[in-house]
DNA sequence: GCCAACGTTGGC
DNA sequence: GCCAACGTTGGC
């Protein structure tokens, strides 16, 4: 089982929207590194859902429900996407400020490479952040 | 709304 | 294959 973090602007696609939809296709990624990360995902992998621009916090946990396949919105045919479904919300959102000031999390990709929209999370980071969020990962 | 950081593109 | 220009992301 691998762990990931995906970013979305709430004004574009929020956690609540995902819960309402029951699942979504993660289309629109146009970055090779993010795309490569999605290629590495397997069904059942867990994903932190992060709100960028507004909120600036990890708000819940989702799960990969379909592996990488071509993104129909990409006319060049170079990029693909995965499907995800909601698992559970955090009791307490874990904010970027929380993550930045915590020595245990200062190596998270979220801090180090803030612009990457799909990033890996280590099992240690996963457990710890789940603890902060008030849920069992 | 601004601006820094960074990835991608395209000319050479 | 380098690198300048450009566009986009995302925190503040």
pLDDT at A59: 96
pTM: 0.94
The nucleotides of chain B lying under 7 Å from a protein CB are 5-8
pLDDT above 80 (res A55): yes
pLDDT at A15: 96
Three-state SS letters, chain A? CCEEEEEECCCCCCHHHHHHHCCEECCCCCCHHHHHHHHCCCCCCEEEEEECCCCCEEEEEEEEEEEEEECCCCCCCCCEEEEEEEEEEEEEEEEHHHHHHCHHHCCCHHHHCCCCCEEEECHHHHHHHHHHHCCCC
pLDDT above 80 (res A58): yes
Nucleotide nearest to A34 (CA to C1'): B7
The answer to whether A78 CB is within 7 Å of strand C is no
pLDDT above 90 (res A48): yes
- Distance from residue A132's CA to nucleotide B4's C1', rounded to whole Å: 30
pLDDT digits (tens, 9 = 90+) for A76-118: 888 999 999 999 999 999 999 999 999 999 899 999 888 999 9
């Amino acid at each position: 089982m691998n762990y990931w973090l995906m970013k979305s602007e709430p004004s574009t696609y929020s956690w609540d929207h995902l819960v309402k939809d029951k699942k979504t296709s993660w289309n629109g990624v146009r970055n090779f590194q993010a795309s490569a990360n999605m290629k590495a995902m397997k069904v059942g992998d867990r994903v932190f859902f992060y709100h960028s621009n507004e909120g600036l916090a990890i708000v819940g946990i989702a799960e990969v429900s379909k592996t990488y396949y071509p993104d129909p919105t990409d006319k060049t045919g170079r990029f693909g996407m995965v499907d995800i479904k909601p698992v559970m919300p955090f009791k307490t959102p874990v904010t970027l400020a929380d993550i930045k000031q915590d020595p245990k999390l200062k190596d998270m990709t979220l801090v180090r490479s803030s612009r990457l929209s799909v990033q890996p999370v280590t099992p240690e980071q996963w457990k710890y952040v789940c603890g902060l969020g008030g849920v069992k990962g």
